[in-house]
Structure 1
Amino acid sequence: MIFTHSHFDHVGSAAAIIKATGAKTYMHEADAKIAEEGGGFRTMRAAPGLLQRVLFRIFWHPNKRFESFHIDQTLKDGDVLELVGGFKVVHVPGHSAGHIVLLWKEDKVMFAGDIGTNLLSIGDPIGFENEKIGRESQRKLGKMDYEAIVFGHGRPITSNASEKIRRVWP
């Protein structure tokens, strides 16, 4: 299981899945401690915008705990995981200090986690641990080329994805 970051909506069921399947786990080194301790989230603030502020109030619970689990391999920017055709790891902090995106199939598909959302349109995540760094990471995503992008929250974009992202995060 490759985790884009350690927020509970992305790792909350991980321990049960690992127990049931014996899956190996991968996460950026900056977020691995949170997974292994079952919480202890860093401070996060709502992203600008009404939708983000509303969703942040509904879904962000910094004291929420989850069953901890071991990270078998920590990741860093530039790593390549030789799984199902190869995943390139790109570190994109901001939403979370250890947030990563994954490029798959010779840079054709981007697994974007929560660097942003595609709920009503392409936009910010519900919050940032560090908005300034998050904006730099979004611009980094805008400089990359990929055909499709899949978000942790919202609809995928299945064609010309990098062009569409550049319009929002040049």
Structure 2
Amino acid sequence: MNQIHFLDISFMYNGSAQVITPVLLQDEHEMILVDCGYPDFLPLLQEAAYKQHLNLGALTKVIVTHHDMDHIGSLAALKRAYPHLEIIAYESEAPYIAGKKTSLRLQQAQSTLDQLSADEKQQAEQFIHFLQSIEPIAVDRTVTNHEHLPWCGGIEIVHTPGHMPGHISLYVTASKMLIAGDAVVIENGRLEIANPAYTLDMQEATRSIRNLLEYDIEQLICYHGGVFQGDIKQALRELIQAYDQI
């Protein structure tokens, strides 16, 4: 029997309250975590799972939507705690997660240093140091666009570049659920593009949202915002229209 669990994790970051929603997919043989939060979030993940009467020791796989710090920060710790689990990511993301290539987010932060005031530069340098502290970990299996994985009712890999070039979302076939990652977020009940300042290619991001209209989505899960309430297709169309007018 296929089950879906939303691990809403509340925390403070830079003085503000935030929530992320990693997802657990489960069937008779697999327990799959999608994204894993910031560094040192392993206890928070374990606690969130425990509240739903789940033990992360049963994890078999982790699928990473992209290599931002809040999605892979605890990946190495998870692998140490549960060495049997398989880490899965999009083919172009694997070198960044493994530390073989410099994080695109780190490159972006470093490229802005010369344009900042002294105070801004100090904050940026702290952010750069934090990004450099993310522990790399090898990816066990890479996936490609439209690849179908046979677990938990069937999972289709949906390449949704824009926020990052190798960003993926997951379409769970049996439940018609889209796990969006950071392809879209929910702000004040509306769908938005995830923090435009951190989206590396806005045109690609908009194109990815347009491609999502091809899917029969009955439930949309955003990493930032959780479960979307409303007409999903209409909300996607309105978001596309908003950015087409810019």
Q: Does residue 30 of structure 1 match 2:92?
A: yes
What secondary structure is seen at the aligned counterpart in 2 of 1:25? strand
Return the offset for 1:9: 0.6
Larger Rg: 2
Give the alignment partner of residue 81 of structure 2, picking from 20, 27, 37: 20
Partner residue in 2 for 1:10: 71
Partner residue in 2 for 1:97: 165
**Higher share in strand:** 2
Partner residue in 2 for 1:50: none
Return the offset for 1:163: 3.6
What secondary structure is seen at the aligned counterpart in 1 of 2:206? helix
More relative contact order in 1 or in 2 (CA 8 Å, sep 6+)? 1
Deviations 1:31-90 (A, max 9, x none): 111100087222559xxxxxxxxxxx99xx455131111111111101111121211001
TM-score, normalisation: structure 2: 0.58
Compared with structure 1, are the counterparts of its residues 62 and 131 closer, same or farther at alpha carbon in structure 2 (3 Å cutoff)?
farther
Let me know the Cα RMSD of the aligned residues.
2.4
Counting only pairs closer than 5 Å after superposition, residues 71-150 of structure 1 correspond to structure 2 as 71-106=139-174, 108-120=176-188, 121-126=190-195, 127-150=198-221
**Unaligned 5+ runs, structure 1:** 46-56
Return the offset for 1:137: 0.8
Contact 1:147–1:162 (8 Å) recurs in 2: no
Contact 1:27–1:71 (8 Å) recurs in 2: yes
Report the number of matched residues.
158
Contact 1:101–1:110 (8 Å) recurs in 2: yes
Q: CA–CA distance in 2 between the matches of 1:86 and 1:158?
A: 24
Compared with structure 1, are the counterparts of its residues 123 and 154 closer, same or farther at alpha carbon in structure 2 (3 Å cutoff)?
same
Contact 1:147–1:160 (8 Å) recurs in 2: no
What is the percent sequence identity of the aligned residues?
25
Contact 1:110–1:149 (8 Å) recurs in 2: yes
TM-score, normalisation: structure 1: 0.82
Contact 1:110–1:146 (8 Å) recurs in 2: yes
1:132 aligned partner, one-letter code:
Q
Give the alignment partner of residue 228 of structure 2, picking from 125, 140, 157: 157
Q: CA–CA distance in 1 between the matches of 2:86 and 2:205?
A: 28
Following TM superposition, the consecutive aligned residue runs of length 4 or more in structure 1 with deviations greater than 4 angstroms are: none
What secondary structure is seen at the aligned counterpart in 2 of 1:164? helix
What secondary structure is seen at the aligned counterpart in 1 of 2:89? strand
